[in-house]
C-alpha cells in the first residue's frame, strides 16, 4: 500500500507536542540522554530544563564509582567513542542533591539506573520510589563499558526479563523503560522480554561497542580498549532498531535515540515508531541542542501537516506492508 | 573592575605597563565555584586575525563572555559549521578581554583547529564561555613566577598584567620546542622583571627547556603558575614543591563538552579532605594546585581513588 499525497494530514498552524512516558503525560517529546547531561545542572545556563520532556540523568548505581582511567574518549567521523565507566557519586548523592535540585527547578527527571546484579537494580528502584520530580525510570541494562561485556543484561532476553521484573516488583507504579543495546541479533525479542518482565516502554538505543587504534602510540586510543560509539554515525542503526521494535509491538512506547542533531533527525525517529526522543552526543557540541531540536521538530511536524505528534508516531510504517 | 586584560597588541608596551601599573589596582580575588560568571553561548564574529609565529591569534566579538571573565578561564568553539562531521567543541584559554571582544590563540593540531585557523574576518563562530576555574591570587605582596610551554603563555598575559597592577613582582619563563612556537615574548618582556626564554632547538633564547631555568628563579618567588604540556606541568610542580612553593597548574586535557557533562577530561586529584577523586578539568579545573594532581597516576585507576572499589566489584 502506498499512501497518496492527499492521504497525508492537512497543514495545521501548530502541532500538539504532548506525549507520554508510560502513563505519565509530558509536554515535550524531546529529552536529554543518559550520560550526556549529567544530572541537568550543568546545562541550566544553556536551555530551559523545565521545557524539556524530562532530564534523563546519568546512570546511577548503589555505590560511588570512579569510572575508568583516561583516555576515555576519541572523536570519530560524525561520532565519538567513549568509555567513561559510569563515573558517579551513587544513589545517596542523587537523592540528596541532584533530584531535589531538579524538582525545585520544576524540571521532570527520568532517572537512569544501572547495576551489576538483578538485586542492585531492585534496590535502586526501591530507593527511588516516590522521589520528588521523578516521572520515570530508565533501566540501563546495556552499558557497553562494564567489566564483563559478555554479561550485558540486554544481550540475553532472560537476563533482561529478570532485571525488568525485579524493578517492576520494587516499584509497581513508576513508568519503566528498558534501555537496549543494538549489539544483538534480534533486538525485538529482547524488547519483548523486557515488556513481559514489566517494562512500560523501550529506550533505544545505547551506544555500539567500538574500537579506535591510535597510530601514534600504536595502541588502542581508549584506556579501556573498547568503548561505546555514539553520534550521527549510528543514527541509521538506531532508526532500524526503533523500526523493528515498533514493528514487533505497536502499542509499546519507544524513547528513540542515537545521533539526533536536528528536528529532521528527531522526526525520522517519530515516523519510525518513537513517541519521544533523547538528544545525547549533540549536547557535547551544542548544549542548547535539546531545546533547539524540540522547536525544529515542532516546525517539521507542522510543515508536514501533523496536528498532533501522536499522529506521526510510526507513520512511516503505513507505507510498508512487508515484515521488517 | 576593568573589563580589559590581556590585550597588548598595537600599543607601546612599556608605556602601557606604566599606565596600567599607575591606574589599575586589581586584586585577584579568589573565585569560589558558586560565584563564577555564568557561561553564555553566543555567535561570535571574527574581528581580528593575527599570525603569531606558528599560531593564529583571533579577536572575537563575543558579547557577554568577557564581562566577569578571569585569567585562567577558557572558551570553547564549535567547529566545521552546521553539517560538520566533527561534533565536539575545541577549548582555548582566554588570552585577553576587552569589553565585548576576547582573544584566543589557536595552534593547529588536527582538522578541527585547522578549520578554525582558516576562519577569516567577518566569519561567525559558535562560542561558549567563560568556562573553568581561574588562577587563584598569590599571597599578598608575593612575587609570582609564571612558567609557560608554547601557547600556554596565552593564559598568562592577562594574569601577568593583573599581578603587576596589584603590585606583585612577576618573573616568567617562556619555553617552546622552536622559536616560532613561543608566544607573547614582547608582552612579557614589558610586564616582567625577569624573563627567561628557552627553546629546545636553540632558535631563540637559551637552548633547553623551561625546567632548566625554573630552579634559578624559584628563590625569588612566593608562588608559581604553570601552563603547558602535562610532562612540563609535572616537572615544574615537582620543582616548586621541592622548594616549598605552591604551584598552580593549568592543564590541557582532551575534552568533549567543556561544560562538565561528559566526564571525559578527568584527572586524579587529591581533595581538601585527603581523598583522591577523578575531577573534571573543565569545571573543577583547568587550574589545579600542582601538589594535588597525581601526575604519576594519570592514565591509571589508582586503588585508593574514591569509587575505585566499585569498579572492581562489578561482576
The model's pLDDT over B99-144, given as tens digits with 9 standing for 90+, comes to 999 999 999 989 999 999 999 999 999 999 999 999 999 988 899 9
Q: Which residues pair with B44 in a beta bridge?
A: B125
- Can you give the pLDDT at residue B14? 45
Which of B264, B275, B269 lies closest to B291, judged by CA? Answer: B269
Lowest mean pLDDT among A117-131, A146-160, B107-121: A146-160
Q: From the list A63, A78, A84, which residue is nearest B87 (CB)?
A: A78
Searching chain A, which residue's CA lies closest to the CA of residue B315? A116
Average pLDDT over residues A105-127: 96
The pLDDT value given to residue A2: 40
Nearest alpha carbon to residue B137 among B240, B36, B28: B28
- Which of the residues A143, A155, A194, A241 is marked catalytic? A143
Cβ–Cβ below 8 Å for B310 and A68: no
Helix A235-248 with A263-272: angle, nearest 10 deg: 30
Distance to chain A for B127, nearest Cα, Å: 10
Residue A211 main-chain phi, psi, to 5 deg? -145, 140
Following DSSP, what letter does each residue of B53-71 receive, concatenated? TTEEEEEEE-TTTSTT--T
Q: Is A165 on the interface with B (CB under 8 A)?
A: no
> Per the structure block, which three cell numbers stand in for B41?
553561548
Give the C-alpha separation, A24 to A136, whole Å: 8
Q: Average pLDDT over chain A, rounded to whole?
A: 93
- Let me know: does B157 contact B6? Beta carbons within 8 Å: yes
Average pLDDT over residues A17-36: 96
Separation between Cα atoms, residue B256 and residue A85, nearest integer Å: 15
| Interface touch A72/B311, C-beta < 8 Å | no
In this predicted structure, what is the pLDDT of residue B83? 82
Q: What angle do CA A114, A120, A121 make, to 5 degrees?
A: 55
The pTM (predicted TM-score) of the whole model is 0.91
Residue of A nearest to B311 (CA): A65
Kindly provide the ipTM of the predicted complex, given to two decimals: 0.90
Environment class of A302 (CB within 10 Å of its CB; exposed 0-12, middle 13-18, buried 19+) = middle
CA–CA gap between residue A38 and residue B34 (Å, rounded): 18
**Is it the case that residue B43 has pLDDT exceeding 50?**
yes
Inter-chain residue contact A284 with B315, CB threshold 8 Å: no
From the list A223, A285, A288, the residue facing B88 with the nearest CB is A285
Residue pLDDT, tens place only, A197-255: 999 999 999 999 999 999 999 999 999 999 999 999 999 999 999 999 999 999 999 99
Cell 563515573, located at residue: A87
State whether residue A251 sits within 8 Å of chain B by CB: no
Cross-chain residue pair B261–A43, CB shorter than 8 Å: yes
Extract the C-alpha cell encoding A142: 546495556
Q: At what angle do helices A263-272 and A289-303 cross, to 10 degrees?
A: 60
Q: Respond yes or no: is residue A241 known to be catalytic.
A: no
Helix axes A187-197, A235-248, angle to 10 degrees: 50
| Structure confidence at residue B291 as a pLDDT band (50, 70, 90) | very high
The pLDDT of residue B313: 62
* Average pLDDT value over all residues in chain B: 89
* pLDDT score for B13: 44
Amino acid at each position: 500500500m502506498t499512501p497518496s499525497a492527499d492521504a497525508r494530514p492537512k497543514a495545521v498552524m501548530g502541532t500538539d507536542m504532548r506525549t507520554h512516558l508510560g502513563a505519565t503525560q509530558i509536554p515535550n517529546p524531546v529529552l536529554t540522554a543518559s550520560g550526556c547531561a549529567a544530572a541537568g545542572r550543568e546545562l541550566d545556563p544553556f536551555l530551559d530544563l523545565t521545557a524539556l520532556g524530562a532530564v534523563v540523568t546519568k546512570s546511577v548505581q548503589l555505590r560511588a564509582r570512579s569510572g575508568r582511567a583516561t583516555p576515555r574518549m576519541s572523536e570519530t567521523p560524525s561520532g565519538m567513542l567513549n568509555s567513561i565507566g559510569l563515573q558517579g557519586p551513587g544513589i545517596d548523592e542523587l537523592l540528596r542533591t541532584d533530584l531535589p535540585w531538579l524538582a525545585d527547578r520544576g524540571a521532570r527527571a527520568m532517572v537512569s539506573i544501572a547495576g551489576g546484579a538483578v538485586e542492585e537494580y531492585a534496590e535502586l528502584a526501591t530507593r527511588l520510589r516516590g522521589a520528588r520530580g521523578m516521572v520515570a525510570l530508565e533501566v540501563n541494562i546495556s552499558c557497553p563499558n562494564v567489566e564483563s561485556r559478555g554479561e550485558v543484561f540486554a544481550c540475553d532476553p532472560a537476563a533482561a526479563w529478570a532485571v525488568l521484573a525485579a524493578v517492576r516488583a520494587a516499584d509497581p507504579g513508576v513508568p519503566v523503560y528498558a534501555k537496549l543495546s543494538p549489539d544483538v541479533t534480534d533486538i525485538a525479542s529482547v524488547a519483548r522480554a523486557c515488556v513481559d518482565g514489566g517494562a512500560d516502554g523501550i529506550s533505544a538505543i545505547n551506544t555500539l561497542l567500538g574500537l579506535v587504534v591510535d597510530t601514534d602510540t600504536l595502541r588502542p586510543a581508549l584506556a579501556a580498549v573498547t568503548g561505546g560509539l555514539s553520534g550521527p554515525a549510528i543514527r541509521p542503526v538506531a532508526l532500524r532498531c526503533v523500526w523493528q521494535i515498533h514493528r514487533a509491538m505497536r502499542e509499546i512506547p519507544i524513547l528513540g535515540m542515537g545521533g539526533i542533531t536536528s528536528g529532521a533527525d528527531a522526526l525520522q525517529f517519530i515516523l519510525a515508531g518513537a513517541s519521544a526522543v533523547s538528544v545525547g552526543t549533540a549536547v557535547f557540541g551544542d548544549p542548547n541542542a535539546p531545546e533547539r531540536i524540540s522547536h525544529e521538530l515542532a516546525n517539521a511536524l507542522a510543515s508536514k501537516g501533523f496536528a498532533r505528534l501522536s499522529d506521526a508516531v510510526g507513520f512511516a510504517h503505513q507505507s510498508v506492508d512487508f515484515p521488517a | 573592575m576593568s573589563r580589559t586584560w590581556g590585550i597588548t597588541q598595537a600599543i607601546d608596551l612599556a608605556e602601557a605597563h606604566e599606565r596600567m601599573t599607575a591606574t589599575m589596582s586589581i586584586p585577584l580575588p579568589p573565585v569560589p565555584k558558586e560565584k563564577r560568571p555564568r557561561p553564555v553561548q553566543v555567535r561570535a564574529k571574527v574581528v581580528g586575525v593575527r599570525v603569531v609565529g606558528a599560531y593564529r591569534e583571533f579577536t572575537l566579538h563575543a558579547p557577554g563572555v568577557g564581562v566577569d571573565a578571569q585569567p585562567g578561564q577558557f572558551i570553547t568553539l564549535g567547529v566545521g559549521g552546521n553539517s560538520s562531521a566533527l561534533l565536539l567543541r575545541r577549548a582555548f584559554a582566554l588570552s585577553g578581554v576587552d569589553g565585548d571582544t576576547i582573544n584566543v590563540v589557536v595552534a593547529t593540531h588536527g582538522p578541527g583547529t585547522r578549520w578554525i585557523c582558516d576562519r577569516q574576518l567577518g566569519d561567525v563562530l559558535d562560542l561558549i564561555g567563560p568556562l573553568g576555574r581561574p588562577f587563584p591570587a598569590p599571597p599578598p605582596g608575593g612575587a609570582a613566577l609564571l612558567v609557560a610551554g608554547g601557547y600556554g603563555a596565552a593564559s598568562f598575559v592577562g594574569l601577568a598584567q593583573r599581578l603587576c597592577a596589584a603590585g606583585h613582582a612577576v618573573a616568567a619563563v617562556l619555553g617552546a620546542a622552536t622559536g616560532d612556537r613561543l608566544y607573547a615574548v614582547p608582552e612579557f618582556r614589558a610586564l616582567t622583571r625577569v624573563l627567561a626564554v628557552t627553546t629546545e632547538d636553540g632558535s631563540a633564547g637559551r637552548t633547553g627547556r623551561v625546567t632548566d631555568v625554573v630552579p634559578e628563579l624559584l628563590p625569588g618567588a612566593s608562588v608559581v603558575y604553570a601552563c603547558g604540556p602535562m610532562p612540563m606541568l609535572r616537572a615544574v610542580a615537582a620543582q616548586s614543591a621541592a622548594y616549598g612553593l605552591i604551584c598552580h597548574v593549568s592543564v590541557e586535557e582532551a575534552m568533549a563538552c567543556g561544560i562538565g557533562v561528559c566526564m571525559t577530561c578527568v584527572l586524579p586529584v587529591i581533595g581538601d579532605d585527603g581523598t583522591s577523586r577523578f575531577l573534571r578539568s573543565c569545571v573543577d579545573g583547568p587550574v589545579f594546585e600542582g601538589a594535588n594532581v597525581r601526575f604519576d597516576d594519570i592514565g591509571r585507576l589508582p586503588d585508593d581513588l574514591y569509587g575505585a572499589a566499585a569498579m572492581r566489584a562489578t561482576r
